[in-house]
Amino acid sequence: MGNTIKLVALDIDGVISKSKGAFYSGRIVRLLAEMNDKASADRNLPPVTVITGRPSTYIESLLQAIHGFAPAVFEHGTGLYNPRDYVFKAHPDLICLDELEELKKIINNTLVKRGQAIMQGGKDYSLSLFSRDKSITPRLKELILEAGGPLCGSFDIIYSSDSINIIPKGFHKGKGIDFLSGECGVPLESILGVGDSEVDIPFMVKTGFSAAPSNAGDEVKKAALYCSDKSLAEGLEDILNHFGLIN
């Protein structure tokens, strides 16, 4: 099965690492680096990359750690980083950056400065907010809509496990995997996609091979071709073994 997979695309949080701020398993980092080293020497082997909501600088650093050379998707499909040429670029369909900048200023002057939320730094094409007080997390979307008013109509406001993401309307990881496929010249049916949360489903349902660790949500497991009985990095290692990509 491994020789039909030409690219491995991984979500980060909940797949490679436990959560935001958590340490990486040295074992999985070394394993992914070994896979990329072998793929660099043998074009018949699939390289490993990431598709994430994290900002571009974060994936640049992670790709360095895992010796990644294939392009990677950041900020939910709105941007792509090509490490070979050291090029960061927005998706060609992205058009609402002026509105995003205005909304960012409004949220910073209201929710952030009032101490209700923290804005994740480093993002250029989307926003992510974390509640300072967990009790208001369920109301965070309502507060954003109230602060942003009509500007919010240009964006999808989506909860993840520990934050809320403000993403240009129509963008998601499904659009990102299309972007990645075209950039790499690898058809979707030859990509293995691995994710754990509902925001990963739009790209997992497009790839020819898909998998989830045991910590994934029920809807994600339903979308996956293979579900590991192990969690997080151990689950990822099991997935790679299942698809014949490692021994």
Which domains, from first to last, does the chain contain?
2-92+171-242 (3.40.50.1000), 97-168 (3.90.1070)
Q: Is the pLDDT of residue 227 over 60?
A: yes
The rounded percent of the chain whose pLDDT value lies above 70 is 98
CB 114 within 8 A of CB 107: no
- Write the CA distances from 237 to 27, 164, 229, 244, integer angstroms: 9, 29, 11, 11
Phi-psi category of residue 227: left, alpha or beta, with phi > 0 → left and psi -120 to 50 → alpha = beta
Q: What is the pLDDT of residue 1?
A: 55
Q: In what order do the strands lie in the sheet with 209-212?
A: 48-50, 7-10, 191-194, 209-212, 226-227
Round to whole Å and give the CA distance between 112 and 239.
40
Mean pLDDT of 52-80: 97
pLDDT of 114-154, one tens digit each?
Answer: 999 999 999 999 999 999 888 888 899 999 999 999 999 99
Specify the pTM: 0.93
Please return the burial class of 176, using the count of CB atoms within 10 Å of its CB with bins 0-12, 13-18 and 19+: buried
Q: What is the pLDDT of residue 163?
A: 82
Query: In this predicted structure, what is the pLDDT of residue 160?
Result: 76
> Average pLDDT over the chain, rounded to whole?
94
CA distance 191 to 200: 14
Q: Is 174 within 8 Å of 210 (Cβ atoms)? A: no
* pLDDT at residue 144, rounded to an integer: 95
- The letter for the amino acid at 246 is I
Strand-strand pairing, 127-131 and 117-119: antiparallel
